[in-house]
């Protein structure tokens, strides 16, 4: 199968994200995540990036719980059905309008959850875009002017997935040494040393291969849009317009 | 092509020179091996050739280096991109894109080559290294050998006059490493590319190189024909040790030469077989292990038994399932089916604390285990963790390696020193079973001998069961009692090392190749048959 243009899915998921934010509806947000999951399932790449949808879902869940927690603890009082009451901490008088603790209403909890869900959905949509398009490919279709920025990003983005595999490897080794779950400091030091060495190696390799020597860069096999790409983007835009209209 | 005249190098914040007063010349179309102990400055020397040192690393360079008429002092590494291609120790860490073809295009895109030139050169390079069928593949899915070939190809697309490689075969199995060396040999002979490489496993490269540049620890260095240089160093491959031990009039570097010189020995000597080691009781047994990663089966019904006092080697090509089997044995990977019994109990019924005490594990990157800021602290930590007398770990480390300084930072140790430190830490708990994953990577012969002596002592005197996954046939020939061979997740051979290694020509050690069809794997085997070896 001919690969998609790298911008196709980014455009599609950006449209969906705009739609989700505009519609501000939990049902639509969940539907969008479901749709994204289907697309990821069918068009996943086999690089280290394919897991980013999975990780973005986890990040989203963490975010929702943090949002809910802060929503319960801190905030402006809201009228409604009181679920339970937390002990209230009195703040000095020069901080009016903010309170910590106090009665928690159903309205406050649900609005916090709702906000969290919308943000988490947007994160999941970008995670999905990453899963189906390698960021390296995306960088290659960006205009030459921002190519320099692109390479900095290349280093950052190449080191990141390797970082995840290094964490797992070091954690396992430490786990076997001590027989208990290792503390962060035990992992951080070997990890930091390795990541620094990696970044330096990559920068060295790029320099040795002539990166930055010529003002303009040529492109091997420029990537063009096909009808299929346009169809996907158009359908994404239609859904977004529909969501906004609702 | 490459001229070093009176080159000295000192890194910033350092008081000792890495390279001192080094002069040599390498001409076009030569293949030169740089050898020396770990930490003797081989990597620095390689990176001096394209100016990465000192342009990228900092440091003070004395003397003059001229590559193809250009001084590296005034020319930046990027400007030399079309002249010097460099392939690092770990190719995966140096790839910039994630598709094979794109990676090849990267250097040419940076230099603004027109697309039609790029297409032609990519085609050529793919052909030269035999990667044509994999051109659209994601780099992450390539095997170690394929990644190494891709790294070479991405240097070749620039049509370099010099190709510099830092330990190109250290991570590869013997077959993949043969392929890499055959490619290099072809480049030298057909295209007159000048190749400079560093490698510790001399047995793999010695037959291919034209000259050797030997760097000694004290700053002295010499360059010359392999047979000449190998006369004056201790870092020699088994084939040279054989020539020395048999007092042959010449030092041969190829199997063919030494075979000619040893015809009478092969004809006249009687076999005195290796003393058979009687292994102790069963310590760890893995029965019918099936392991899966997603849908993919990594191990299909593999059975492995470790006995106390016995050293078992686990061999096979990259991706054959060695790591998966080791992960099952240490309890990191739960098999889909099969049972693992440690002593008399199932492994998964034993608490992790106790498991860690019973099974010592040395990972592929020994540095993963280290996190404190000095050797002494790491050792003290191991004393406390294992509740043994204070200073015991450091004492055992000193017994292994008397020269190590307790104050030095683990990061500054050489590969061999780091491995010794990690071994001392892991062995502080006196585990019944010791499992090592690729322990000889990056070790010079001295460090390897130290490792072999330690493993032998641990197994024979303390009765530890040792399991070692490795690509290094020479260490297997020297220390392993039993060898297990995996291929595509299945066990294809399991038996005494002698039988297993002799049955596979690709995995035969150097001495066995010379002495074929006689059943001798090591210099020691030959000497024993000659009657001049005392056990």
Q: Is B496 on the interface with A (CB under 8 A)?
A: no
A159 touches chain B (CB under 8 A): no
Residues 65-84 of A with CB under 8 A from B: none
> Residues near A200 by Cβ (< 8 Å), separated by ≥ 6?
none
Neighboring chain A residues of B379 at a CB cutoff of 8 Å: none
Q: Indicate the residue of B93, B106, B119 with minimum beta-carbon distance to A201.
A: B93
Q: Are B359 and B431 in contact (CB under 8 A)?
A: yes
What are the chain A neighbours of B393 within 8 Å (beta carbons)? none
Q: How far is CA A45 from the centre of its chain?
A: 17
**Is any Cβ of chain B less than 8 angstroms from the Cβ of A180?**
yes
**B172 vs B147: CA distance, rounded Å:** 10
Query: Residue B23 and residue B8: Cα distance in Å, rounded?
Result: 9
Cα separation, B377 vs B380, whole angstroms:
5
Sketch the domain layout of chain A as residue ranges. Answer: 1-141+227-246, 144-208
Phi, psi (rounded to 5 degrees) for B15: -105, -10
| Domain annotation covers residue B291 | yes
A219 CB near a chain B CB, below 8 Å? yes
Question: Which residues from chain A sit within 8 angstroms of residue B77, using beta carbons?
Answer: 204, 207-208
Which residue in A has a C-alpha nearest to residue B427's C-alpha?
A: A177
The secondary structure element, H or E, covering residue B32 is strand B31-35
φ/ψ of residue B64, rounded to 5: -135, 135
- B324 and B191 part of one domain: no
Tell me whether strands B162-166 and B194-198 are parallel, antiparallel or unpaired: parallel
> What pLDDT sits at residue A80?
74
Given a contact cutoff of 8 angstroms between Cβ atoms, the answer to whether A20 and A27 are in contact is no
Peptide bond just before B16 cis, omega within 30 deg: no
Residue from A57, A63, A4, A70 nearest A30 by CA: A57
Choose the closest CB to A204 out of B56, B369, B370: B56
- C-alpha distance from B187 to closest chain A C-alpha (Å): 19
* Interface touch A190/B370, C-beta < 8 Å: yes
The whole-number pLDDT of residue A77 equals 65
In a domain, B128, yes or no: yes
Q: How far is CA A7 from CA A13, A154, A157, in A?
A: 10, 17, 17
Higher pLDDT, A73 or B282: B282
pLDDT of residue B276: 80
Contact B354 A179 (CB under 8 A): yes
Q: Which of residues 24-53 of A touch B (CB under 8 A)?
A: 45-48
Surface of B (261-300) touching A: CB under 8 A: none
Measured between CA atoms, the residue of chain B closest to residue A167 is: B368
Q: How close A71 gets to chain B, by Cα (Å)?
A: 39
Closest CA of chain A from B213, distance in Å: 23
Q: Which residues of A touch B93 (CB under 8 A)?
A: 162, 198, 201-202, 205
Least confident interval from A104-108, A171-175, B180-184: A104-108
B290 and B415 share a domain? yes
Helix axes B144-156, B174-191, angle to 10 degrees: 20
CB contact under 8 A, A175 and B352: yes
Predicted pLDDT at A31: 92
Give the mutation candidate from B106, B342, B379 for the A interface (greatest A CB count, under 10 A): B106
The answer to whether B96 contacts A154, with C-beta atoms less than 8 Å apart, is yes
Most confident region among A124-128, A168-172, A203-207, B247-251 by mean pLDDT: A124-128
pLDDT at residue A119, rounded to an integer:
92
CA B19 to chain centre: 24
Average pLDDT of chain A, as a whole number: 81
Taking CB atoms and an 8 Å cutoff, what residues of chain A touch B435? Answer: none
The DSSP secondary structure of B466-496, one letter per residue, reads: EEEE-S-HHHHHHH-SEEEEEETTEEEEEEE
Are B167 and B297 members of one domain?
no
- The length of chain A, given as a count of residues: 246
The mean per-residue pLDDT over the stretch A122-146 comes to 77
Q: How far apart, in Å, are the Cα atoms of A170 and each of A181, A187, B181, B365?
A: 11, 6, 32, 9
Q: How far is A223 from chain B (nearest CA, A)?
A: 12
Residue B107 and residue B175 in one domain: yes
User: Quick one: B462 exposed, middle or buried, by C-beta within 10 A (0-12, 13-18, 19+)?
Assistant: middle
Structure tokens at A96: 């009016």
Pick the residue from chain A with its C-alpha nearest to B97: A136
The verdict on B222 and B298 lying in the same domain is no
Q: Three-state SS for B138?
A: strand
Same structural domain for residues B184 and B320?
Answer: no
What 8-state DSSP symbol labels residue B99?
B
Q: Each residue of A217-237: pLDDT tens digit?
A: 777 877 677 888 888 888 888
Question: In whole angstroms, how far apart are CA B335 and each of A90, B6, B295, B301, B324?
Answer: 56, 59, 13, 10, 9
Q: What is the pLDDT of residue B216?
A: 83
**Interface membership of A85 toward B (CB under 8 Å):** no
B487 assigned to some structural domain:
yes
pLDDT digits (tens, 9 = 90+) for B148-201: 999 999 999 999 999 999 999 988 889 989 999 999 999 999 999 999 999 999
pLDDT at residue A211, as a whole number:
80
- pLDDT digits over A11-57, tens only? 899 899 999 998 888 898 999 999 999 998 888 876 667 788 888 89
Query: B309: closest CA among B423, B432, B426, B396?
Result: B432
Q: How many structural domains does chain B have?
A: 2
Question: Are the Cβ atoms of B110 and A154 closer than 8 angstroms?
Answer: no
Question: How many Å apart are CA A201 and CA A196, to the nearest integer?
Answer: 9
Which CATH number do you get for residue B307? 3.40.50.300
List Cα–Cα distances, B193 to A72, B32, B157, in angstroms.
Answer: 70, 11, 13
Tokens of A222: 């420029």
- B120 at interface of A, judged by CB pairs closer than 8 A: no
Judged by a CB distance cut-off of 8 A, whether residue A202 touches chain B is: yes
- Name the residue among B107, B357, B426 with its Cβ closest to that of A209: B107
B323 token code pair: 């790591």
Residue A90, chain B, CB below 8 Å: the answer is no
Backbone angles phi, psi at A120, to 5 degrees: -60, -35
Q: Are residues B293 and B178 in the same domain?
A: no
Residues of chain B with pLDDT under 50: 535
Chain A residue numbers touching B370 (CB-CB < 8 A): 189-190
Give the Cα separation of B308 and B462 in Å (integer): 9
What backbone torsions phi and psi does residue B508 show, to the nearest 5 degrees? -75, 140
Q: Mutate one of A158, A195, A220, A223 to test the B interface: name it (highest B CB count within 10 A).
A: A220
CA atoms of B362 and B435, how far apart (whole Å)? 6
Nearest to B385 among A178, A185, A207 (CB): A178
What is the rounded distance in angstroms from the CA atom of residue B499 to the CA atom of residue B481? 11
Interior angle at CA B489, CA B484 and CA B491, nearest 5 = 30
Does the residue B63 lie in any domain? Answer: yes
Q: Does B256 touch chain A (CB under 8 A)?
A: no
Nearest to B118 among A170, A205, A220 (CB): A220
- Residue B490 tokens, joined: 């299945």
**HSE of A141 in the Cβ direction (CA atoms, 13 Å)?**
15
**B138/A46 CB distance under 8 A:** yes
Nearest to A220 among B77, B115, B425 (CB): B115
Q: Which domain holds residue B424?
A: 282-503
């Amino acid at each position: 199968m001919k690969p998609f243009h790298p911008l196709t899915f980014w455009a599609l998921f950006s449209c969906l994200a705009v739609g989700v934010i505009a519609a501000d509806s939990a049902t639509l947000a969940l539907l969008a995540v479901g749709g994204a999951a289907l697309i990821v399932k069918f068009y996943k790449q086999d690089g280290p990036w394919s897991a980013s949808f999975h990780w973005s879902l986890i990040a989203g869940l963490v975010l929702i719980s943090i949002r809910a927690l802060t929503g319960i603890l801190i905030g402006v009082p809201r009228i409604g059905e009181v679920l339970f009451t937390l002990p209230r901490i009195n703040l000095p008088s020069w901080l009016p309008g903010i309170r910590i603790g106090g009665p928690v209403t159903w309205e406050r909890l649900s609005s916090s959850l709702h906000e969290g869900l919308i943000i988490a959905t947007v994160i999941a949509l970008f995670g999905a875009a990453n899963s189906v398009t390698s960021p390296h490919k995306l960088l290659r279709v960006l205009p030459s002017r921002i190519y320099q920025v692109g390479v900095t990003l290349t280093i950052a983005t190449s080191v990141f997935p390797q970082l995840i595999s290094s964490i797992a490897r070091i954690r396992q080794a430490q786990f076997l040494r001590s027989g208990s779950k290792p503390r962060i400091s035990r992992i951080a030091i070997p990890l930091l040393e390795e990541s620094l060495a990696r970044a330096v190696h990559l920068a060295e390799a790029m320099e040795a291969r002539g990166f930055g020597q010529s003002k303009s860069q040529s492109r091997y096999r420029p990537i063009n849009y096909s009808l299929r790409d346009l169809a996907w983007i158009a359908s994404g835009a239609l859904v977004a317009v529909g969501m906004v209209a609702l | 092509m490459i001229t070093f005249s009176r080159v000295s190098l000192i890194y910033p914040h350092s008081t000792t020179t890495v390279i001192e007063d080094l002069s040599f010349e390498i001409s076009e179309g030569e293949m030169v091996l740089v050898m020396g102990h770990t930490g003797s400055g081989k990597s620095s020397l390689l990176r001096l050739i394209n100016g990465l040192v000192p342009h990228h690393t900092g440091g003070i360079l004395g003397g003059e280096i001229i590559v193809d008429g250009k001084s590296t002092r005034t020319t930046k590494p990027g400007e030399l991109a079309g002249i010097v291609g460099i392939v690092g120790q770990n190719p995966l860490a140096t790839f910039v894109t994630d598709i094979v073809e794109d990676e090849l295009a990267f250097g040419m895109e940076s230099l603004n080559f027109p697309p039609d030139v790029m297409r032609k050169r990519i085609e050529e390079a793919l052909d030269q290294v035999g990667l044509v069928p994999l051109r659209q593949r994601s780099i992450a899915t390539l095997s170690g050998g394929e990644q190494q070939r891709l790294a070479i190809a991405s240097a070749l697309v620039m049509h370099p006059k010099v190709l510099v490689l830092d330990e190109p075969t250290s991570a590869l199995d013997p077959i993949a490493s043969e392929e890499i060396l055959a490619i290099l040999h072809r480049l030298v002979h057909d295209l007159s590319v000048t190749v400079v490489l560093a490698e510790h496993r001399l047995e793999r490269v010695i037959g291919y190189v034209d000259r050797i540049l030997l760097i000694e620890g004290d700053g002295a260095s010499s360059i010359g024909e392999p047979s000449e240089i190998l006369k004056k160093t201790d870092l020699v491959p088994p084939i040279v040790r054989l020539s020395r031990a048999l007092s042959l009039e010449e030092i041969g570097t190829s199997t063919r030469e030494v075979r000619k010189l040893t015809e009478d020995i092969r004809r006249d000597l009687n076999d005195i077989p290796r003393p058979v080691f009687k292994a102790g009781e069963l310590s760890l047994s893995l029965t019918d292990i099936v392991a899966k990663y997603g849908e993919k089966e990594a191990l299909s019904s593999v059975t492995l038994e470790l006995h106390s006092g016995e050293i078992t080697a686990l061999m096979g090509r990259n991706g054959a399932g060695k790591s998966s089997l080791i992960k099952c044995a240490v309890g990191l990977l739960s098999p889909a089916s099969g049972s693992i019994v440690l002593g008399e109990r199932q492994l998964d019924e034993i608490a992790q604390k106790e498991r860690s005490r019973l099974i010592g594990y040395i990972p592929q990157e020994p540095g993963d285990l280290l996190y404190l800021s000095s050797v002494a602290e790491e050792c003290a930590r191991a004393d406390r963790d294992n509740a043994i007398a204070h200073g015991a770990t450091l004492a055992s480390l000193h017994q292994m390696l008397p020269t190590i300084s307790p104050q030095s930072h683990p990061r500054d140790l050489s590969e061999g020193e780091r491995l010794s430190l990690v071994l001392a830490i892991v062995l502080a708990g006196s585990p019944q079973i010791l499992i090592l994953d690729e322990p000889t990577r990056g070790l010079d012969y001295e460090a390897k001998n130290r490792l072999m002596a330690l493993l032998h002592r641990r197994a024979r005197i303390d009765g530890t069961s040792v399991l070692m996954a490795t690509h290094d046939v020479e260490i297997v020939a020297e220390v392993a009692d039993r060898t297990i061979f995996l291929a595509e997740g299945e066990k294809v051979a399991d038996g005494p090392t002698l039988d297993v290694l002799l049955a596979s020509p690709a995995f035969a050690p150097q001495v066995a190749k010379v002495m074929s069809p006689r059943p001798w794997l090591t210099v020691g085997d030959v000497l024993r048959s000659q009657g001049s070896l005392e056990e």
